[in-house]
Amino acid sequence: MNEQLTIAMPKGRIFTEAVELLRSAGFDLPPEFDDSRKLIIDVEEENFRFILAKPMDVATYVEHGVADLGIAGKDVLLEEERDVYELLDLKISGCYLAVAGLLDTKMNDVAPKIATKYPNIAAAYFREQGEQVEIIKLNGSIELAPLIGLADRIVDIVSTGRTLKENGLVEYETITNVTSRLIVNPVSYRIKDEQISELVKKLNEVI
Ligand code: PRP
C-alpha cells in the first residue's frame, strides 16, 4: 500500500486554479474543496492529505517536511529561498512583480523608500540597480503606501493591473514573471519517489 502524500495548498486566489488543475489531471477531489473552512482535507480514494495554508507559508510546511509537496507562487519561492525542490511550472495564476508608483514622480535622491510584501526580492532588485533604498515591509494593500506618502515606490504583484489603475499608480519596471510551481521536500522526494513521479506525470499531461 502506498504511503499518503501530504500536499500544501495556498488558500486564496491560486487555490481555485490549483484545484481545477488537479481535477483535470484526473484526481477526484470532493466538493469540500469548493466551499469549506476546513484546513486539513483527506482524500482517501487518492491517498492524499491536503493542508490549506497561507500562500507565503506553503514552502515553510514543505521545507519542514510536514507536507511532502506544495503549490507555491514563484514570488514566494524567490522571497523565501526555502530548501525545497521545484518540480514543475504549473503555469497557473500568471502575474508579475513590478516596481510601481505615482505617475511622473522621481524617487527621492537620498534613501528612497520602497514599500513591499517582498523585502528580499525588492532589496536584491535595487541592489542590482545600484540604488540604495530603504525597504518598508507591509503585509498587504501595498498600493496605499505611495498614496499616503509612506513610500516613493512599491514592489508588488500585478495581475490584471486593476489595483494600480484604480489607485492612480503606474508601473515603472517589471522585475520578473510569476506562475505557480509544484515544490517538494527533498527527503520526501527520495522516499516517496514513485507516488510523486506518478503525480508529476499526470500533471504534466494537462499543463
Ligand atoms: C495582490 C497584489 C495587488 C493585487 C494585484 O493583492 O498585492 O495588490 O493583488 O492584482 P490586480 O493587478 O489584478 O489588481 P491581494 O489581493 O493578494 O491582497 P493584498 O493587498 O492583501 O496583498
Residue spans in the chain of domains classed CATH 3.40.190.10: 5-93+179-206, 95-176
Class of 95-176 in CATH: alpha beta
pLDDT, position 32: 86
pLDDT, position 2: 74
pLDDT, position 152: 97
Quick check: 99 and 153 in contact, CB under 8 A?
A: yes
Strands (E), the chain: 5-10, 40-43, 48-53, 69-73, 85-89, 95-102, 113-116, 134-137, 153-158, 169-178, 180-184
pLDDT, position 197: 96
pLDDT, position 194: 95
Task: Report, as ranges of residue numbers, the positions in the chain whose pLDDT lies below 50.
Answer: none
Whose alpha carbon is nearest atom 18 of ligand 1? 140
| Residues in the ligand 1 pocket, defined by CB under 6 Å | 140-143, 156-163
CATH topology of domain 5-93+179-206: D-Maltodextrin-Binding Protein; domain 2 (3.40.190)
pLDDT, position 1: 57
> Can you tell me which atom of ligand 1 is nearest the CA of 157?
2
Which residue in 119, 121, 169 sits closest to 139, CA to CA?
Answer: 119
How many angstroms does the Cα of residue 120 sit away from the middle of ligand 1?
18
Quick check: 204 and 88 in contact, CB under 8 A?
A: yes
